[in-house]
Amino acid sequence: MELRDIMTEIDFVVTEELSLLEAIELMYQKKWNLLPVMNEKREPVGVFTRSCLYRMLKEGCPLSGPIKSYIKRHVETIDIHTPADEIEARVKHSNVGTGVVIHKDGTVAGILTKTDMVMSLLGSLSSLKNQLETILAHSNLGVMLTDEERNIFFMNPKLSDMTGMAEEDFIGQEADAVFPALQALFSGKDSIVPCETKSMKTVATVSSFQSSELKKGCIILFRDTSEIEMMAAELQTVKALKKTLETTLEYAYDGIIMTDEHQRIQMVSPPFLDLFNFQESELLHRSVRTVLPELHLCKVYKTQSAEVSDMMEINGIKYIVHRIPIMEGGQVIGAIGKVMFRQLNEVNELFKRLQRAENKASYYHQQYNQAESARFIWDDIWSIHPYMERLKLSAAKAAKGRSTVLIRGESGTGKELFAHAIHNSSARSKGKFVIVNCAAIPEDLLESEFFGYEEGAFTGARQKGKIGKFDLANGGTLFLDEIGDMSVSLQAKLLRVLQEREFYRVGGTKKIHVDVRIIAATNRPLEEMVNDGSFREDLYYRLNVISLQVPPLRERREDIPFLIQKLMEELNKMLGTTITGLDIASKEALLRFNWPGNVRELKNILERAMTFAEHGKIQLEDLPDYMLKTLPEKKTDLSISLVENAELETIKKALLDMKGNKAKAARLLGISRSGLYEKIKKYQLH
């Protein structure tokens, strides 16, 4: 097209006197984009464009008066020698501020351009384009642009990665031919579609664009779903972990509290809430320092190290607390507080039990070390009962001689104690005190236990031989406990040794002479056994040279309080306890009980009660059921008044303090001896 053709479409207007307003009106009326500008000789000097007008309006140019001066300032002429076709091209493609200057003869004088305007517009457009390109290049979304016909004209590097194809392979292609899945997007059926690409799974979304400046078309975004799947899986794991943690906290035996890096409470276990009587809402997201200062959890935020097994006291109750910081990258990002409370008593109890067991073990160890030597003396036989005191005196006298002693009495009355004390106060006290429990050794071993055996006496027997108890006790005392339980045949052998003071070892031929003192004990009715033939009469007479009868506890009830006191002192040492006494009810129960097992039973019951006692004193509930159930009824004729009761207690105490000495007790009480005897009779204190 000739330039002339362009210009012929435009009416030439004399603009010398043209006001701006008129120029605008003219351009709008004629729908012109260009307004040729003529000089006074009606020669065209330039072209005025709509954008020039807009700019003038924006800059606040007066709406009247000639525009020539403005044109002179803002419109410039380019080189006249510019080739016509280039000028034509530039005119055609120019949007703003460009015009053609035509000479009177119709030849082109040059191009008028608003260079500064065009350049700045182009400059900002290109920097915007650069920015867009950078964003698209680094985006982790695949981006594809299509024109109105859905032909691809752009794709970013990420989409090349996703598809494994170069940009050139796509450009110009129809998008839905390359990705058939996109048809559903273009048709509006789906707003998001899965799209299999070569290297990964993606989903695609589409949105259309339309601009007067740009072409119409679509933007298609491809998103890598493996990332989303990974995030979803991670989220799932986090959710599962949270649930596990919540369940653990719910069933944790201890009180547990967790805080974040700002010391705000994030989680609390139900036992913790129970313990401090809180609702969860009162603690969650609040500062642990404010709501639970006594926990001192903030310490670990400073020290950054765990504090394990600290003792804490809240409202007078002791707890064990662990404070543990949660660290990440050398920073405290939270803390855990663990309060142990329920186990504390159990731990204490276990600890106490362990201590008792240890004490007991060392006690027995001590006793074991003392075996084969008599451990007890007269002072170890605790009693205030006059009969017992007399018995001890008689036994002490008997100890001085060489005669055999037979100690009779119910089980647990202290017969063995007497045997020890007799040995210890005898001339043989430096010799061994050897105990044989005739009821505990199997019948067929009893003989070898007594007399020992020679080397090689039995096949399979210990080749070295064995020394018997008689041998062992040579020069000392042999205590034959439970003598009534010995077989008749062995009774004969024993009798022979007692008579001849000599014996043969099992399998031996050599006579062995011994100097042994025999003390025997039994709770069996030997006389009846002699009558029915189960105990040899001659042995009975041989043993029954000096006979001591130890009375059962129920026949010497005055001894009970004294024994309780002494046994408790001993047991406190042995068990490591600090029990100070008994309450009235339990004391009364112990006094009333019949004690079939005598002192041994009393000792066992006290040991058990002291183990269970929790308040420093034994109470009724600490005594065994079997005992409480078998308590004899209170004697009605003994029902006494409060005053009498006080009197009875005072007399008992006086007797106890004076170790049963009635004369001293009467003096202590300030009454006559006969007066005391009367009271003893009245209160059946025998």
- Kind of pairing between the strands at 34-38 and 44-49: antiparallel
Nearest-approach distance from CB 255 to ligand ATP, in angstroms: 46
Q: d(Cα 394, Cα 417) in Å, to the nearest integer?
A: 14
Residue from the set 158, 415, 517, 556 that interacts with ligand ATP by CB under 6 A: 415
Dihedral angle sign, alpha carbons of residues 179, 184, 185, 190: negative
Do residues 182 and 220 make contact, with C-beta atoms less than 8 angstroms apart?
yes
354 to 383, contacts with ligand ATP by CB under 6 A?
381-383
Q: Which is nearer to ligand ATP, 363 or 677 (CB)?
A: 363
Q: Which is nearer to ligand ATP, 411 or 572 (CB)?
A: 411
Q: Which is nearer to ligand ATP, 49 or 383 (CB)?
A: 383
490 to 529, contacts with ligand ATP by CB under 6 A?
521, 523
Residues in contact with ligand ATP, counted by CB under 6 A, come to a total of: 17
Q: Is 686 helix (H, G, I), strand (E, B) or coil?
A: coil
Residue from the set 155, 417, 483, 575 that interacts with ligand ATP by CB under 6 A: 417
Residues 319-338, mask of contacts with ligand ATP (x by CB under 6 A): --------------------
Residue from the set 110, 255, 334, 409 that interacts with ligand ATP by CB under 6 A: 409
Q: Which is nearer to ligand ATP, 254 or 607 (CB)?
A: 607
Q: Which is nearer to ligand ATP, 113 or 523 (CB)?
A: 523
Residues 578-597, mask of contacts with ligand ATP (x by CB under 6 A): --------------------
Do residues 269 and 251 make contact, with C-beta atoms less than 8 angstroms apart?
no
Query: Element (H or E) spanning 496, and its range?
Result: helix 488-500
467 to 496, contacts with ligand ATP by CB under 6 A?
481
Phi/psi of residue 388, nearest 5 degrees: -65, -40
Nearest-approach distance from CB 543 to ligand ATP, in angstroms: 16
Do residues 565 and 426 make contact, with C-beta atoms less than 8 angstroms apart?
no
The residue with its CB nearest to ligand ATP is 414
If binding is defined by CB under 6 A, does position 259 make contact with ligand ATP? no
Residue from the set 94, 113, 413, 477 that interacts with ligand ATP by CB under 6 A: 413
**The tokens of 550 are what?**
């130890």
598 to 637, contacts with ligand ATP by CB under 6 A?
599-600, 603
Strand positions, DSSP E, 179-239: 192-196, 201-209, 217-224
Q: d(Cα 312, Cα 275) in Å, to the nearest integer?
A: 13
Burial group, residue 367, by CB count within 10 angstroms (0-12, 13-18, 19+): exposed
Q: Which is nearer to ligand ATP, 154 or 363 (CB)?
A: 363
Q: d(Cα 468, Cα 490) in Å, to the nearest integer?
A: 14
Q: Which is nearer to ligand ATP, 25 or 528 (CB)?
A: 528
**The tokens of 665 are what?**
């007790």
Nearest-approach distance from CB 567 to ligand ATP, in angstroms: 7
Helix, strand and coil content of the chain, in percent to the nearest 5, comes to: 50, 20, 30
Alpha carbon distance, N-terminus to C-terminus of the chain: 152
Q: Which is nearer to ligand ATP, 163 or 425 (CB)?
A: 425
Nearest-approach distance from CB 575 to ligand ATP, in angstroms: 14
Burial group, residue 203, by CB count within 10 angstroms (0-12, 13-18, 19+): middle
If binding is defined by CB under 6 A, does position 414 make contact with ligand ATP? yes
How many CB atoms are located within 10 Å of the residue 45 CB? 21
Q: Which positions touch ligand ATP (CB under 6 A)?
A: 381-383, 409, 411-417, 481, 521, 523, 599-600, 603
